[in-house]
Structure 1
Amino acid sequence: MNRRQRKVLVVTYYFPPSGGAGVQRPLKFVRYLREFGWEPVVLTARDADYPAFDESLLQEVPAGVKVYRSRILEPYRLYRRFTGRRMDEATDIATLTRDEAAARNFKERLAEFVRAAFFVPDARIAWLFFAVPLGLKILRAEKIDAIFSTAPPYTTNLIGLFLHRFSGVPWVADFRDSWIGWLSAPQWRPRLARALELWMEESVLRYSSRVLAVSHGVKEDLLSRHPHLRDDRWIVLPNGYDRQDFQGVQPKPLDRRITITYTGSLYGNRNPEFLLQALERLLERDKRLGKKLLIRFVGRVGEPILRRIGQSPARDLIEHIPYVPHRESLSYLLASDYALLIIDDAPVNRGILTGKLFEYIGSGIPILALAPEGDAAELIRKYRLGYVVPPKDANKIEEVLTEILRRGRPCQSGVSGVLAEQARSRFERRNLTAELAKILDSVTKEGE
């Protein structure tokens, strides 16, 4: 008699038609879990105010996978109207990008205070009141064997916590980012709000059957606030790339210039300021630089950064392609000589292993990383994937760009060698999903 295929409830805010980086990890797990003995059932939000939409990703959800969408209340429409921002402005850019004038604006400062004081842990907290009742119904109706929740938003892991505590079903809490004080969270909160948030964070870490982090840096940042919870439940399961995403993607026409491409969002502290300074210095020395070099940004860019680029003497070296569907962004990436990674030099960012890095690894294109010492720099050096330059050192960036121009267009076969192939195998989404399936196996065996 065949054993019933086990089921896992995947609780995720980001799910197609959501676009952007946050959707990739849960979507790829859902795509491949069946191959390893687990049937995914998804609990997500209905009509959510996503920062980006990509309808094409709906095609990646396997046929027959049940997707439940609960009601959600989000305040961002009111926020945009109150502060006078465009109604179509992405929520992450709206809340994390403020120039000096906006920072002094009373409405902006009041909105930021409300966010910090009342929306704990984040602006999706009201989703919990709809998702938990629906989740409990799903657990019973679908005979769920395990729960997997992934954050941010951190409300998602609170939903996992309540479902686990009410049902006793084993629960895996996943952290794509750390929590308190991280880039995507308010840097300041009133004392009571911060105490509540710290209690929420501690509760999630205390009661989860396993705690997954995408990097050692994320893991250690969480544990720095809760060292008493360091035990064998913690597992680093990195982000990755999907080999299937590249199949059938036709590169855009190759530019005659050496092309360095960044795919993704740029806003807040994730800023190309020192790259611009390096380009301006190079342009002073070589007026023909515009015929040799192209920097291409593909994705959403905050208005302060766009203004800075527009005012720069090096603006003709830069091309901005607004947000495009995922496969089209890959076609721009594959038409590049180098893939650009930008990580701001702040202590909290040194543990970042962004999903973009692994997509660059999957492309096989050499990486130019403007990154501090930390997990990303270590990985790039370990597998010999490209250059690592301090992100706020315009002189070093200028030196590396000069070296790139001197060496000319790299081999079109991209990064090769044993180490690079090891990296592509290690971080392939199907292989990472196999690791997740083993984790789910272990937590369900403990509950038997």
Structure 2
Amino acid sequence: MTEKVQSTSIPKKWLILSHGFNMDGRAASQTITDKIPYLLDAGIEPVVFSAITGNKDVRFPHKQFLAWGPAAFRFDFRHWIANQYGRGLVYKFLTRSVSILLAPFIGLEKFILGYSSQWSWAMPAFVYGYQLIRAGKVDFIYSTGGAWSAHLAGLWLKRKTGLPWIAEIHDPLVIRKDANDLGFTKPKSRDAQFRQYLEKQICKYADHVWWFTDGALHYAKVRNNNLNTLNNAHGFMVLPGAEPPGGLNANQAHAYSDKLNLCHFGSLAKDRSLSTILNALLPLFNKYPEARECIRVHAYGAPLDSLTEEAIKTYGFEDVLLAHGRLERDLASGKSGRERVVEKMQEADVLILLHGNDEWCAEYIPSKFYEYLWTGRPIWGITHRNPQLDQMLLDRGAYLSPEGDVEKVSAALERIWLDWRNQQLIEPAWKPIGVDQAVNDILSHIQYC
């Protein structure tokens, strides 16, 4: 437990702008909602603005707004209906009807602006935020995301009112193409162009701004010289961490079964594909035929990507890879999706951490990594160009492979198989990263903001 920062010099009345606040199982939500108890304990009096996609918090004022643009309205409406009625016939009828009605307006919005859908949530957040500030109910602005609309609203409020503004950047706003690309080139898409502009504005006007990796902070400083000073927009790095998830059984001992269960949680895509694992299984099965009946790969939380689906068909691995989809709240048991996910994590023999193969991996650490650390299960990290992540994995005891190196991926899989067969899987060091350290780091930087 880190020592708590004394917050006597920190403004107390915070407006927190978070588009996805209290959305069950969403990383962009958990990053801020996990901080709330520590902020409350520090004497902060928050008012939260979010979209209607999450559950309304009752511990403090929490205002939920529909976005004013058609694309964001459709996105938020779908999630709201799912929360209210599930994803059955009512959901299908209402969402399809709304999609048909909004289609021409969404097309017009995309043609004129070309921004990502949630951008327009910034408008109600700004309007109602300005009203609160004028009424004297807010003396500090905190934007976090996730969806960059929260930062856009924070920028507008900062420029209009002059109140202190802090910004928490989850994923890099500027996506570089390769190691030689520093992010100065004008992107082709209008959304990427606006994100490039928004990063400059954040670094110019925010009183403090932080990123979640050393790499992201490094490249932001390269593009924005004022981050290297102690003046406006003093930039720093914060490890977001994660709270011990609900459903975690700290006393649960691992039990070996007749199956080696390799489990992946989270989104999949062509650049972050379980085909990497399946391709390595083929030579392993040729070398150890008995492994074919023992190894199972489980995918939770997202549809399979096209490369994984192709590998399943090519190799006949329909019985090897089991896709479970997203775990939602279970009405029978009352368990949240997050609680059910943690149960499955603790049942795993090895947790798969796919980092991806894009250049932005140098600036990104999957949020699932921090949850994995609480489970006490060994992690197999397949990482790309991120020394910070590699070192954190090695410090805690993990299987580690560089993405794209077929021989090393295969070697790590063979080691896992042999370790499991001998019932000697790596015992990871108990070094989870909590959220208290993140909040204390943030408060220590802003106490004289």
Range into which the TM-score falls when normalised by the shorter chain: 0.7 to 0.9
Do the aligned partners of residues 254 and 69 (structure 1) sit closer, same or farther apart at CA in structure 2, a change above 3 Å counting? Answer: farther
Do the aligned partners of residues 148 and 77 (structure 1) sit closer, same or farther apart at CA in structure 2, a change above 3 Å counting? Answer: closer
Do the aligned partners of residues 317 and 248 (structure 1) sit closer, same or farther apart at CA in structure 2, a change above 3 Å counting? Answer: same
Specify the alignment match of 2:225 in structure 1: 227
Greater Cα offset, 229-238 or 397-406: 229-238
Contact 1:119 1:125 in 2 (8 A): no
Alignment of 1:94-105 (within 5 A): none
Contact 2:398 2:426 in 1 (8 A): no
Deviation at 1:70, TM superposition (A): 1.9
Specify the alignment match of 1:238 in structure 2: 239
Deviation at 1:33, TM superposition (A): 1.0
Do the aligned partners of residues 415 and 193 (structure 1) sit closer, same or farther apart at CA in structure 2, a change above 3 Å counting? Answer: closer
Residue 166 of structure 2 aligns with an amino acid whose one-letter code is: V
Deviation at 1:379, TM superposition (A): 1.8
Confirm whether residue 151 of structure 1 aligns to residue 151 of structure 2: no
Indicate which of 332, 337, 343 corresponds to 2:349: 337
Specify the alignment match of 1:415 in structure 2: 428
TM-score (normalised: structure 2): 0.77
Greater Cα offset, 32-41 or 155-164: 32-41
Specify the alignment match of 1:378 in structure 2: 391
Deviation at 1:270, TM superposition (A): 1.5
Confirm whether residue 75 of structure 1 aligns to residue 77 of structure 2: no
Q: Distance in 2 between matches of 1:294 and 1:434?
A: 41
Residue 71 of structure 2 aligns with an amino acid whose one-letter code is: P
Confirm whether residue 37 of structure 1 aligns to residue 33 of structure 2: no
Deviation at 1:142, TM superposition (A): 6.1
TM-score (normalised: structure 1): 0.77
Deviation at 1:329, TM superposition (A): 0.7
Alignment of 1:162-241 (within 5 A): 162-181=156-175, 189-190=187-188, 196-232=194-230, 233-241=234-242
Confirm whether residue 125 of structure 1 aligns to residue 119 of structure 2: yes
Partner of 2:121: helix, strand, or coil? helix
Indicate which of 313, 320, 326 corresponds to 2:316: 313
Q: Distance in 2 between matches of 1:191 and 1:263?
A: 30
Deviations 1:82-102 (A, max 9, x none): xxxxxx8xxxxxxxxxxxxxx
Confirm whether residue 135 of structure 1 aligns to residue 126 of structure 2: no
Residue 297 of structure 1 aligns with an amino acid whose one-letter code is: A
Partner of 1:13: helix, strand, or coil? coil
Residue 41 of structure 1 aligns with an amino acid whose one-letter code is: V
Deviation at 1:285, TM superposition (A): 2.7
Specify the alignment match of 1:294 in structure 2: 296
Contact 2:210 2:238 in 1 (8 A): yes
Specify the alignment match of 2:274 in structure 1: 272
> 5+ residue gaps in structure 2?
1-7, 76-86, 88-105, 178-182, 328-336
Specify the alignment match of 1:98 in structure 2: none
Q: Distance in 1 between matches of 2:156 and 2:213?
A: 25
Greater Cα offset, 14-23 or 253-262: 253-262
Deviation at 1:257, TM superposition (A): 1.4
Partner of 1:408: helix, strand, or coil? helix
Deviations 1:296-351 (A, max 9, x none): 11111245245225313333222221111111111000011211100112322122
Q: Distance in 2 between matches of 1:294 and 1:243?
A: 27
Do the aligned partners of residues 211 and 76 (structure 1) sit closer, same or farther apart at CA in structure 2, a change above 3 Å counting? Answer: closer
Deviation at 1:126, TM superposition (A): 1.5
Indicate which of 393, 396, 402 corresponds to 2:405: 393
Residue 27 of structure 2 aligns with an amino acid whose one-letter code is: A
Number of residue pairs the alignment of both structures matches? 389
Do the aligned partners of residues 151 and 78 (structure 1) sit closer, same or farther apart at CA in structure 2, a change above 3 Å counting? Answer: closer
Indicate which of 282, 285, 292 corresponds to 2:284: 282
Contact 1:266 1:300 in 2 (8 A): yes
Specify the alignment match of 1:84 in structure 2: none
Specify the alignment match of 1:27 in structure 2: 33
Deviations 1:118-140 (A, max 9, x none): 234x3222212211011112334
Specify the alignment match of 1:326 in structure 2: 338
Deviation at 1:78, TM superposition (A): 7.2
Do the aligned partners of residues 297 and 116 (structure 1) sit closer, same or farther apart at CA in structure 2, a change above 3 Å counting? Answer: farther
Do the aligned partners of residues 182 and 363 (structure 1) sit closer, same or farther apart at CA in structure 2, a change above 3 Å counting? Answer: farther
Indicate which of 16, 30, 34 corresponds to 2:22: 16
Residue 317 of structure 2 aligns with an amino acid whose one-letter code is: A
Greater Cα offset, 193-202 or 151-160: 193-202
Residue 214 of structure 1 aligns with an amino acid whose one-letter code is: F
Deviations 1:366-413 (A, max 9, x none): 1100112312112212x1330210122222111111111212265699
Deviation at 1:5, TM superposition (A): 8.1
Contact 1:297 1:321 in 2 (8 A): yes
Q: Distance in 2 between matches of 1:433 and 1:328?
A: 27
Specify the alignment match of 1:367 in structure 2: 379
Do the aligned partners of residues 371 and 170 (structure 1) sit closer, same or farther apart at CA in structure 2, a change above 3 Å counting? Answer: same
Residue 131 of structure 1 aligns with an amino acid whose one-letter code is: A
Deviation at 1:193, TM superposition (A): 6.6
Q: Distance in 2 between matches of 1:37 and 1:277?
A: 52
Contact 2:11 2:140 in 1 (8 A): no
Greater Cα offset, 223-232 or 21-30: 223-232
Confirm whether residue 351 of structure 1 aligns to residue 349 of structure 2: no
Deviation at 1:154, TM superposition (A): 1.5
